[in-house]
Amino acid sequence: MILITNNADFGVSVLVTSKGFQQVVSLAPGDETAVEVDEGAYGVYVFPGRKWIEFARSKRQEIVMVLEYPVDLSPVEIVEVLAQLDGISERIKQLEAQAEGVACSGNVTSDGGGVVNVDSDPNAVITVSCD
What are the domain boundaries of the chain? Answer: 2-130
Per-residue pLDDT of the chain (131 residues; tens, 9 = 90+): 999 999 998 889 999 999 888 999 999 999 999 999 999 999 999 988 777 778 778 888 888 888 887 777 888 888 888 888 888 888 777 777 776 778 999 999 888 889 999 998 887 788 999 98
Q: For position 56, what pLDDT does the model report?
A: 79
CATH code for residues 2-130: 2.60.40
Q: For position 99, what pLDDT does the model report?
A: 67
Long-range contacts at 100-103 (CB < 8 A, ≥ 24 apart): 100/47, 101/15, 101/45, 101/46, 101/47, 101/126, 102/45, 102/46, 102/47, 102/126, 102/127, 102/128, 103/43, 103/44, 103/45, 103/46, 103/128
123 contacts 94 by C-beta, under 8 angstroms? yes
